[in-house]
Each structure stands twice: as structure tokens, then as C-alpha cells.
Chain A
Amino acid sequence: MKKIKVFDYVGEFGENKDRAQKIRKEILLKLDREKPVELDFKNVSGATQSFIHAMIAEPIRQHPETFFELISFSHCSDLVKTVIEIVSEYMQESLAGGVAT
């Protein structure tokens, strides 16, 4: 399984959307080939909603079924977990036809 070490892209705190987009490209490449990816947040203490959004919103939109089967998150701090859940839930709301978030 492909493992992406988020720390290597963003350091200890994720807030840079340009860097999030680099990770997003890698995720999309794997999802397009139906390959699993582990997003390893080891040593990343926190991240903004904007960062997580830029990283996973489009993969969820393009692969609403396989995203949840093929993408896994490891070593997440409580904050990172919470923000990932916020983004994943409003993305599903958005895809279900809800008005924005």
C-alpha cells in the first residue's frame, strides 16, 4: 500500500494549501488506478480545515465510493481527526445535493 507521509510535505502543522494540492494529486493518481493509500500524519500535530479540504475534497468528489474503501488515515492527532471528519461529512452532504456546507 502506498504510504504518504504528510509530515514530509507540510511539517508539523498543515495549513499550506499549495502543499495540500501536491498530496491531493498523489491521492487522485492512486484512486484513478483503484489502489489503496495510507495518509500517515505521524508528527503532524494539527491542520486547518482549508488544508484538509484542499487535500481530500476533490478525491471524495471524484471517487465518492472508493475513497472510503481505499484511503486510510494513520497517526492522526485528535485535532487532525476532527478536521478530517468535518471535511468528509460536509463533502458527503455536498454530494448528496445539500446546499454547500
Chain B
Amino acid sequence: MKIYFSNNDILKSFNYFLESVDLGRPNELIIKTRSNWLNIHPAALVFSAALASVCGKENTIIDNTAGDSGLYLDRMGLYNYSKTASPYSYQSHDPAGRFIPISRIKTQEDQSRFVSDLAPLLHLDQDKSQTIRYVVGELVRNVLEHSESEDGAFVAAQYRAKSNVISLGVCDNGIGLRNSLAYFYHPNDDSEAIRLALAPGVSGTTNRGVTENNAGAGLFIVKNLSRITRSHFVIYSGKSLYKLLLYDKRTNKPRINANAFDDKHSLYENLPDFHGTLVGIDISLDDTNDFNEQMEYIKQSFTKALNDRRKINYRRVKFL
């Protein structure tokens, strides 16, 4: 396998990054840089770590010619997944305030620790950390419940203070969306599996829609949080990549669609066949993006969609 890092592996152009990946010869991995300036989204890093985990650290090489810019790979922990020693020596210090290196989460308790550490590590106040904690909580839980990966979830994040955006990547090397949904939903291909995974009420663990443990709403909500904050969101599994495109700035608030394929998006269907699932997301923490308001908006859209289907007078829960 080969992975090439260019000078701009961001979500907006993530298809180009994936098109350059070679997933042949799964017993070895070479990670190469192709530029002396690296701008790599955490999604690309966790994808690399997940693949390195498949073939083993002893079979993973990093061919880094990026000079000082390549230090980023070290700081984000990618060398920990490779037999190549880091060429960088520096005074290691607390990474708080900027990034969370690649972390592996295997259990719910790992997840809880990781989520509780997010805010202090990224130096975010409580209001601003709500979104990232919510998103990580849902995405990692999805991996632990559905991926059947022994390696768990690979997670990394970076906060860019200048743009006030958190970039997050969550990846697993499990069975992939199509296999996860195969038993109850029989998706025809990887794209159909992605569409189902993003739809409300679809879960790989049941065809009943809602069970005691699952409602199939996690990815639906996360994708729509991206949509209403005009943030980038990608999901890649099998040969397909779904890339949510930003809605027109002149639109006051975008419509929430049950079918993700009704959102403005790009779909790439002939990418290297990845036996796992990768989600990349950029979350804008702009002050105008109040998380409670976003969730309320999703709730209203959700409720409207339900009411359009059936006229139900919902009983209200009691808030004291």
C-alpha cells in the first residue's frame, strides 16, 4: 500500500488524496510526502494509521522529504505507527491548544476519557467544546458498535484558532458500511451503503429502525451539523466517497434532508477499495454558530419530517 501526502490534503479536495492512494499489497505500507509543505487534514492521518495498523508497524515506512514541515507528522503521532524513526528532535511540550495526536479508542470507557479530555486539550471553553464532544461521541460510538474492528477507532483533531475551526478525523479498519448494513438492508453498492448510513432510522444492528440501543440517528445528526454550519464533511467506505458541499451563502438556513443525496454533494465511486470507514469533518466554532440552536433546528426539521408522515400529537416530557 502507498499513501502520498501532498501540500493540500484537506476535505475540500479529499478525493484527490484518495485517488492517489494505492491499496495493493496490504502487507506493507509506504507513506510518502510529495511536497516540502504539508497541509494534512487529521482524516488523512487517521486513515494512514488505520492502514498501518492492518499491515503492522514493522511493515510501515514513512518516506518524509518534507523538511521542517514534516514535523507535523511526528507531532500528530504518525511515526508511532511506523518502523521509521522520526528524524526530528525537539523539546516536546504540552500540545494543548492546537491538536490532539492520533489516538486509538477501543472501549466506551476509552471514549469517555477521550471526550472529557477534548476541551482542556484544545483549550476550548464549555460552550465551544459541546459540538466537538458531541460529534466525537457519536462517531466513535459508531465505530465501537458497528465496525467490528479489533483496533477500535483512530481519532485525531486539530484546532485552527485563526479560522476558529476544528478538524476531526475518525477511522476504523473494520468491515465497512456495506458489510455492516448488509444483513438488514442489502445495499447494492458502497454508495448505497453510505446513503443508508446517513439516513435517519437506519442502523446496522436492526431493521426495526428503533431498538433499545439504536435509533440510527447519529450520523444523520453529525452530517447535518456540518451542513447547517457550512462545514466540510466526508465519509469514505469501500470504493465510495461522499463529500458534502457547502450550501450557498445567500441561503439563510439550509433544508435538512432525510436523504443525504438530496443535499448538495459530490460522490466518487471508483476509489481504492477501503475495508473500513473514514469520516472527516471540519466544525466551525464561529460565535454565530450556537450549538444549541443548531440542535434545535435539526430537531424542528426532524419533527416536521415525522409530522409530515403521520399526524401525531406527541406527548411532552416533563421538565421541572
Contacts and interface: CB of A to CB of B under 8 A. Distances in A.
Give the dominant DSSP class at B's interface. Answer: helix
B138 interface: yes
Contact of A48 (B126, B138, B213): B138
Contacts of A73: 317-320
B277 to A, nearest CB: 17
A99 to B, nearest CB: 6
B141 interface: yes
Given A73-B320, A89-B303, A101-B209, A13 B133 contact: yes
B215 A48 contact: no
Interface stretch (B20-28, B55-63, B73-81, B110-118): B110-118
Contact of A91 (B116, B130, B210, B320): B210
A15 B137 contact: yes
Contact of A54 (B213, B296, B312): B213
Interface string A65-90: 00010011111111101111111111
Interface string B130-155: 10011011100100000000000000
B302 interface: yes
Contacts of B141: 15, 17, 48, 50
Interface string B284-297: 00000001100110
Interface of B: 108-109, 111-112, 115-116, 126, 130, 133-134, 136-138, 141, 200-202, 208-218, 221, 291-292, 295-296, 298-299, 302-303, 306, 309-310, 312, 314-320
